[in-house]
Structure 1
C-alpha cells in the first residue's frame, strides 16, 4: 500500500483516506446500533461512539498496512 495517494495532483496521506472510510463505516454502524436501541444500556453514549471510531479506524489501518 502506498504511503501517499495523489488526488487532484495533491498528495494525501493514505491513512487520512482510511480514516474517512472508517468514519463513514462508524457512522453507519452507529445508526444501526441506535435503531436497535443499544444506546439505552450504554453508560456513556458519546464515549462509546468515540471509542467505536478509534477501534474501527485502528482495525482498518492494521488491515491495510500489514
Structure 2
C-alpha cells in the first residue's frame, strides 16, 4: 500500500480510501441493523457502532497490507 496517494495534486494518506469505504459499509450495516430492530437488544448502541467501524477498518487495512 502506498503511504500517500496523489489526487489532483493533493497528497492524501494511503488509508483514506479504506477509511471512507469502511465508513460507507458501516453506515449501510447500521441502517440494516436499525431497521431490523436489533439495537434494542444492545446495552450501548453507540459503542457497538464504534466497535463495528473499528473492526471493519482494521480488517480492510489488514487485507491491504499483504
Q: TM-score, normalised by structure 2?
A: 0.91
Deviation at 1:11, TM superposition (A): 1.2
Runs of 4+ in 1 over 3 A off after TM superposition: none
Deviation at 1:3, TM superposition (A): 2.0
Unaligned runs of 5+ in 1: none
Aligned length: 66
SS of structure 1 residue aligned to 2:15:
helix
1:20 counterpart residue number = 20
1:5 counterpart residue number = 5
CA distance in 2 between partners of 1:2 and 1:50 (Å): 26
Unaligned runs of 5+ in 2: none
Alignment root-mean-square deviation, CA:
0.9
Within-5 A mapping of 1:39-58: 39-58=39-58
